[in-house]
Copies of this chain bind each other. A is one copy, B any other.
Amino acid sequence: MHLGDMSTLSPTARVILGLLRAGASTGYEIKTTVEQATRFFWGASYGQIYPELRRLQGAGLVEALPDAETARRKVAYRLTEAGEQALHEWLTSGEPPEFQYRDEGLLKLFFGGLLSPAEVLDNVRASRREAEADLAFFRANLAPRARAGAAEEGRYPSLALEYGIAFLEFMARWYRRLERTLEAEAAEGAAGPERAEGVSGEPSRDA
C-alpha cells in the first residue's frame, strides 16, 4: 500500500491534496475542478478519487469535516498539518518532473509506410482536426473561466492553461503543415512524377 509510509504520494493523491488545499472540499468538487482546469495535463476519475480520499484520510493527510447543517449527504475534506507538509514536500522535491505523452495519431503516422498516400493524408487530417477541436474547446470553455477566476486563484492556473493552448496550437500547426505538404505531393503525383520535398524542407527519400 503506497501510503503506509506517507512519504510517497500516488499520482492521484497529488492532485487531490493540491486541489483540496486550493479550495476544493468534496470528491465531487475535485472531479469537476479536474474537468475544468487540469484534465488536459492531469486527469482523475471518481473511481480513483473517492478511494484515494479515504486512503489519504487513513494516512492522516486529510480529515473529514463534521457534516454540520446540510441534510444532503456530503463529505467535506481538509488537509491536516501532515497533509500540508506532504504536499509542500512534493511541490519542492526538486525531482525532475515526469511527463508522459501518448499519441495514437502519431503512431499511425509512424506506420504510414503500410498505407497509401491518400490514407496517410486522411489520418493526418484527422489528427489536425482533433487538435483544432480541442483548441476550440479550450478557448470557448476553459479560457473564460480561467480569466474570471484569476483574481482569487492567482495567475498560475491561467498560466498552465496558456501552456495547454500554446501546445495545441503547436500541434495543429504542425499537422496543418504536414497536410499541405502531402496534398502538394498528391497533386504533383497526379500531374506527373516530380521531385517531392519533406515537410521540413529537407530532401525526402521515398520508400
Residues of A within 8 A of B (CB): 11, 14-15, 18, 21-22, 37-38, 40-43, 87-88, 91-92, 94-115, 119-120, 122-123, 126-127, 129-130, 150-151, 153-157, 159-160, 162-163, 166-167, 170-171, 174, 178, 198-200, 204-207
Contact = CB atoms under 8 A, between A and B. Distances in A.
Contacts of A151: 205
Given A113-B153, A207-B155, A97 B87 contact: no
Contact of A114 (B87, B105, B113, B167): B87
B166 A107 contact: no
A102 B42 contact: yes
B174 A102 contact: no
Contacts of A99: 101-106, 130
A157 B110 contact: yes
Contact of A205 (B103, B112, B150): B150
A145 B67 CA distance: 61
A171 B163 CA distance: 9
A23 to B, nearest CB: 10
A112 B41 contact: no
B112 A159 contact: yes
A109 B159 contact: yes
A11 B188 CA distance: 36
A130 B171 CA distance: 20
Nearest to A131: B99
Given A155-B198, A178-B159, A92 B107 contact: no
Contacts of A88: 114-115
Given A97-B126, A101-B41, A122-B94, A156 B107 contact: no
Nearest to A19: B111
Nearest to A155: B204
Contacts of A98: 102, 104
